[in-house]
Structure 1
Amino acid sequence: MTDQKLNYIGPIPRMLAFERERPAWWRRIPLAALLVVGLPTLLALIYYLLIASPRYVSETQFIVRAAGQSTPSSLGVALQGVGIAPTQTDAFAVHEYITSRDSLTQLSRRYEVAEILGPQGTDAFSRYPRPWEGRSREALYKGFQRFVTVGYDSTTGISTLRVEAFRPRDAQALTESLLSGGEQLVNRMNERSAADTLAQARQSREEARARLSSAQQQLTAFRNREQIIDPATAAAQSLSLIGGLLAEVASLRADRAQVSSEAPNSPQLPVFDSRIRAYENQIAAEREKIAGDAGSLAPKLSIYDDLALAREFAGRELTQATAAVLSAEQEARRQKLYLDRVVSPSLPDEPAEPRRWIAILTVFASSLLAYGIGWLIYAGVREHRQD
């Protein structure tokens, strides 16, 4: 008798197949990935979508230039690429001032900066002060720097000022005030530059004017003391008088010689002799006035010439110093700086910060990159141990 075999045709029961039930997909994610990637991304989603307060950005553009200065040429731009850029220290000085403590002090005189940067109802991580910050002046300055950004375009020479605030009007007001402070700084720089340029020229002019005044006073004192306006003119007049007297003496001698030849015993001869002696005495007196003793015109004329020459030199120095002042003023005007507004401070109508989805994606990508690097390091260490 043969045994009969029963063959089962059908699906194999699950219990006989020894198949394990596959876990859900979220259970297959490594715990490290959840901690390194999932948790930071979740926190970023919660913060940026539910907690982060919107911030409004007011923007303005300006340029700092000298009189007659144009925008950089293509050669200038090429030179900037190799580090030989034109001098832009004036624009950078304005940038540094806008973000400086002096600018914050000036701003605090017009606005309650702490209230503007930290109004009620804003999130603790965006406002001032943040949970780990104090309320000191130094903390306010650091918080102020978070809300103010100044950039510079080396190609166009245009600077951009961006100010963030939690209200549109506050952002525009702060931008306008900071830009006005930059304009005041440029004006002070112009005043100081002009003062430094003109100070030496004006001092030289005042010294030349003082020397001219001293020379004129000495010349006036000489005229008052000697009671003569111009010794040269007086000497010329005396010489003219002597010339006239000599001519008269010559005429008298000619007449006497004629009378003596016609009538040797004429009674007119003593008269002629008397007149000739009188004229000769007058000629001698006039000659003594011109040259002779210390009271003559010759030493006075020498002193007068020295004084007149000193006055002439002082006058020339004053003329040159005045021309130097005019030249310095023109140079100061040529070097004067201007802060021109290219774009006035804007009034934002919608918040520009924070960029929520960009920030979330940045957190996710950074976390994913950190997890990938960590996993590669862990895999390499484990493989090294197995070898």
Structure 2
Amino acid sequence: MQDGETHAHPETRQPASVSATAPKRKRRPPAPRPEIIVRPLARRAKPQRRHIGAVILLCLGVFLPTAITAGYLWTQARDQYVTRIGFSVRSAQTSPALEVLGGISQLSSADSTDTEILYDFIQSQQLVREMDDKLNLVSVYGCDEGNKDFIFCLKQDPSIEDLLAFWNKMTKIGYDGGAGILEVEVRAFDADSAVILAEEMFAQSSAMINDLSTQARSDATSYAQDDLEVAVARLKSARRTLAEFRNQTQIIDPAADIQGQMGVLTSMQTQLTQALISRGLLELSATKTDPRLVQLNLKIGVIEKQIDIQRGKFGLGDSENGEALAQLMGRYEELSVEVEFAEQSYLQALDALDNANGEARRQSRYLAAHIKPTHADRPEYPRKILLTTLVAFFSFFGWIILVMVYYSLRDRR
């Protein structure tokens, strides 16, 4: 076992001695990998003429207009000051308690109509002409010799159409149809001028409303006045005809005259009855030649003749004494009815005129301002940042469209 161990010991050391004496081998370097050359799909981009053209177009179409706009707004454009005024049409009409509910809608409708009329008047040529006559709008909105703001200023020697267009551009109207309220925004190149223009516009509008109110009152009373004049003329004619009738007949009141004539006729009929009774009694005891009987016969004849005459006056007999009292009475009653009807028409027309005058006084309208014009501390227009931004945006948008159109046409070739 020991020999074996000693024998095995050198065997185990042999590889160590061999490895110690053997020379070391050098590692070979790895073989180089083959270089793969990939050709580019497109050539390296280089500035082309179209790129330069797009940049030039960007500068000329976007940067330049934006710079010009900004320069003009900040150096040449005149500042615009704003004042605002709010007003509405009011009515002084007062209605009875029972008519309040029914009259509310009518009042609202009338005020709304007046406000719509006023809305059109503020934008009308009439207002512009009247304001120009008083304030000289060219001096208010025109530019000084040293100022070259040809965009926001009024040109020299403008026509009335130019003044109207410029006035509508410098004013902004807000209309609330439900409440009947108008709010007007007036612009000018200084705060004092804006207030003066707003006050003058309000004064002209108030005068127009007053004229409409006066015209409405005149129309309301003119018809009643015309009716009264017709009634007066009719009453005068009826009374004149009645007076002529009385002059012709020499009878003031045919009714009273007839009553008197009827009394006479009744009295004569009574006398005739008594005479007939007396004659009848006398015939029983006297002869025909009795003077008393002869006297009674003469009396009866006279009474009968007078009765016939009286009946002829009444149109009851065969009288030829001219126009009968019955006809006169009929004519008189006809004229009296005409006079009475004319008097009633006159009284009604007079009452209608009084009512029309009272209604006209109650329905007078006026202009009431609930927002009065005030002086502005700083200008609100022109809105320089907004205008410059809009010019830059639309210029850039237009430049993009032009470039896209160019490349679209180029790709189709």
Task: Give the TM interval when normalised to the shorter protein.
Answer: 0.7 to 0.9
Aligned equivalent of 1:100, options 121, 124, 138: 124
In 2 relative to 1, CA 270–304 (structure 1 residues): closer, same or farther, beyond 3 Å? same
TM-aligned CA deviation for residue 238 of structure 1: 0.8
Q: Is 2:74 aligned against 1:49?
A: yes
Q: Which residue of 2 aligns with 1:7?
A: none
Aligned equivalent of 2:236, options 185, 198, 213: 213
Q: For the Cα contact (< 8 Å) 2:83–2:375, is it kept in 1?
A: yes
Q: Is 2:209 aligned against 1:186?
A: yes
SS at match of 1:366: helix
Q: For the Cα contact (< 8 Å) 1:151–1:161, is it kept in 2?
A: yes
Q: Which residue of 2 aligns with 1:37?
A: 62
TM-aligned CA deviation for residue 278 of structure 1: 4.7
Q: What is the distance in 2 between the residues matched to 1:325 and 1:71?
A: 22
In 2 relative to 1, CA 215–236 (structure 1 residues): closer, same or farther, beyond 3 Å? same
SS at match of 1:353: coil
Q: TM-score, normalized by length of structure 2?
A: 0.68
Q: What is the distance in 1 between the residues matched to 2:406 and 2:206?
A: 58
TM-aligned CA deviation for residue 273 of structure 1: 5.3
SS at match of 2:134: coil
Q: Calculate the aligned-residue CA RMSD, in Å.
A: 4.1
SS at match of 1:342: strand
- Greater gyration radius: 2
More displaced stretch, 292-301 vs 88-97: 88-97
Q: Which residue of 1 aligns with 2:251?
A: 228
In 2 relative to 1, CA 339–277 (structure 1 residues): closer, same or farther, beyond 3 Å? same
Q: Which amino acid aligns with 1:35?
A: L
Q: Which residue of 1 aligns with 2:35?
A: none
Q: What is the distance in 1 between the residues matched to 2:360 and 2:407?
A: 70
TM-aligned CA deviation for residue 228 of structure 1: 0.6
Where do 1:1-387 residues align within 5 Å?
30-64=55-89, 90-118=114-142, 120=144, 124-125=149-150, 128-130=153-155, 134-193=157-216, 195=218, 199=222, 202-254=225-277, 276-291=300-315, 292=319, 293-315=321-343, 317-318=345-346, 338-385=366-413
Q: For the Cα contact (< 8 Å) 1:64–1:91, is it kept in 2?
A: yes
Q: What is the distance in 2 between the residues matched to 1:70 and 1:41?
A: 55
Identity of aligned residues (%): 28
TM-aligned CA deviation for residue 134 of structure 1: 4.2
Q: For the Cα contact (< 8 Å) 1:55–1:165, is it kept in 2?
A: yes
SS at match of 2:135: coil
Q: Which amino acid aligns with 1:349?
A: D
Q: What is the distance in 2 between the residues matched to 1:110 and 1:376?
A: 56
Q: What is the distance in 1 between the residues matched to 2:281 and 2:135?
A: 115
TM-aligned CA deviation for residue 356 of structure 1: 2.5
Q: For the Cα contact (< 8 Å) 2:121–2:127, is it kept in 1?
A: yes
More displaced stretch, 219-228 vs 304-313: 304-313
Q: TM-score, normalized by length of structure 1?
A: 0.72
In 2 relative to 1, CA 362–72 (structure 1 residues): closer, same or farther, beyond 3 Å? farther
In 2 relative to 1, CA 203–43 (structure 1 residues): closer, same or farther, beyond 3 Å? same
Q: For the Cα contact (< 8 Å) 2:246–2:252, is it kept in 1?
A: yes
Q: For the Cα contact (< 8 Å) 2:238–2:342, is it kept in 1?
A: yes
Q: What is the distance in 2 between the residues matched to 1:382 and 1:89?
A: 62
TM-aligned CA deviation for residue 223 of structure 1: 0.6
TM-aligned CA deviation for residue 144 of structure 1: 3.1
Q: For the Cα contact (< 8 Å) 1:260–1:269, is it kept in 2?
A: yes
Q: What is the distance in 2 between the residues matched to 1:335 and 1:374?
A: 65
In 2 relative to 1, CA 357–128 (structure 1 residues): closer, same or farther, beyond 3 Å? closer
Q: Which amino acid aligns with 2:175?
A: Y
SS at match of 1:110: helix
TM-aligned CA deviation for residue 227 of structure 1: 1.0
In 2 relative to 1, CA 237–334 (structure 1 residues): closer, same or farther, beyond 3 Å? same
Gaps of 5+ in 2: 1-51, 94-102
SS at match of 2:86: strand
Q: What is the distance in 2 between the residues matched to 1:337 and 1:190?
A: 6
Q: Which amino acid aligns with 1:62?
A: F
TM-aligned CA deviation for residue 106 of structure 1: 1.3
Q: For the Cα contact (< 8 Å) 2:206–2:367, is it kept in 1?
A: yes
Q: What is the distance in 2 between the residues matched to 1:53 and 1:362?
A: 19
TM-aligned CA deviation for residue 221 of structure 1: 0.6
Q: Which amino acid aligns with 2:201?
A: L
Q: For the Cα contact (< 8 Å) 1:114–1:128, is it kept in 2?
A: no
Q: Which residue of 1 aligns with 2:18?
A: none
Q: For the Cα contact (< 8 Å) 1:72–1:156, is it kept in 2?
A: no
TM-aligned CA deviation for residue 225 of structure 1: 1.5
Q: Which amino acid aligns with 2:121?
A: Y
Q: For the Cα contact (< 8 Å) 1:219–1:308, is it kept in 2?
A: yes
In 2 relative to 1, CA 104–161 (structure 1 residues): closer, same or farther, beyond 3 Å? same
Q: What is the distance in 1 between the residues matched to 2:179 and 2:106?
A: 6
Q: What is the distance in 2 between the residues matched to 1:379 and 1:327?
A: 83
TM-aligned CA deviation for residue 34 of structure 1: 2.1
TM-aligned CA deviation for residue 64 of structure 1: 4.2
Q: For the Cα contact (< 8 Å) 1:72–1:157, is it kept in 2?
A: no
SS at match of 1:245: helix
Q: What is the distance in 2 between the residues matched to 1:216 and 1:323?
A: 21
TM-aligned CA deviation for residue 110 of structure 1: 2.1
Q: For the Cα contact (< 8 Å) 2:89–2:111, is it kept in 1?
A: no
Q: What is the distance in 1 between the residues matched to 2:199 and 2:72?
A: 31
Q: What is the distance in 1 between the residues matched to 2:181 and 2:393?
A: 34
Q: For the Cα contact (< 8 Å) 1:37–1:371, is it kept in 2?
A: yes
TM-aligned CA deviation for residue 219 of structure 1: 1.2
